Amino acid sequence: MSSLRECYTDQPSERARLKVQNAIDGHMRNFIALSPFVVLGSSSDAGADVTPRGDQPGFVQVLDDTTLLIPDWPGNNRLDTLMNIEANPRVGLLFLIPGFSESLRVNGLAEISLDPALIERWTVNGKHPRSVLRVSVREAFLHCGKAILRSKLWDESAKVDRSVLPTYGQMLKDQTSVRDTAEEIQASVEHAYKTGLY
């Protein structure tokens, strides 16, 4: 570890050290309320994993200063994240707001809840999530925008035309031995996008 630190001769600035909080403050509440997208990192003995979670801004709810609630809407049913959390509750969250260069990082311990009172906090077209992740916050801090600025993530001029890659259906067909054609896979995916988000 000392040799790694020697490669990075600059020490963290005072504000980089002091910005880490052990609770969600008012600025972080506002950030979460505006965020429609969070990246959720988890791990187990089998390795690490990261998954996107998204919905209307504020879909992640702040229950109190040290507790976040994340609905588990329909996905691919692999349950990678949920199985990881059963094995190891440590998670990392990265909240993004479209158009904002800064992000919000939250690290904590997650548990899977099937409590109807929590599940019913979200209702879309009469549907509720299957479960809710209850995250106990251990540390939270705002992250500067250097990575997003370098990537030009929100820059219209940096958008990539969808035609430069094959369709999702074609890529999945090429990567798997499923019998469906690329067109059938793509049609199924597009149908799920229209009817299976909730």
Q: What is the pLDDT of residues 16-65, one digit of tens each?
A: 888 999 999 999 999 999 999 999 999 999 999 999 999 999 999 999 99
Amino acid at the residue 128: H
Do both 145 and 165 map to the same domain? no
Decide if 123 is inside a domain.
yes
- For residues 146 and 167, state if they share a domain: no
Please indicate, yes or no, if residue 1 is contained in any of the structural domains.
no
Q: How does DSSP assign 85-130, residue by residue?
A: HHH--EEEEEEE-TT-S-EEEEEEEEEEE--HHHHTT--BTTB--S
Helix (H, G, I), strand (E, B) or coil at 135: strand
What's the confidence (pLDDT) of residue 1? 57
Domain count across the chain: 2
Please indicate, yes or no, if residue 183 is contained in any of the structural domains: yes
28 and 123 housed in the same domain: yes
54 plus 118 within the same structural domain? yes
Judgement on whether residues 146 and 164 belong to the same structural domain of the protein = no
Residue 111 lies in a domain: yes
* Per-residue model confidence (pLDDT) at position 54: 97
Domain that holds residue 56: 11-151
Domain assignment present for 190: yes
- Residue 6 inside a domain? The answer is no
What's the pLDDT at 8? 85
The predicted pLDDT at position 47 comes to 94
HSE (CB half, 13 Å, CA atoms) of 173? 16
Q: Within the chain, which residues score under 50 in pLDDT? A: none
Residues 84 and 171 in one domain: no
pLDDT of residue 11: 84
121 and 96 assigned to the same domain? yes
27 & 123 share domain: yes
CA–CA gap between residue 88 and residue 70 (Å, rounded): 17
Judge whether 2 lies within some domain: no
pLDDT of residue 71: 98
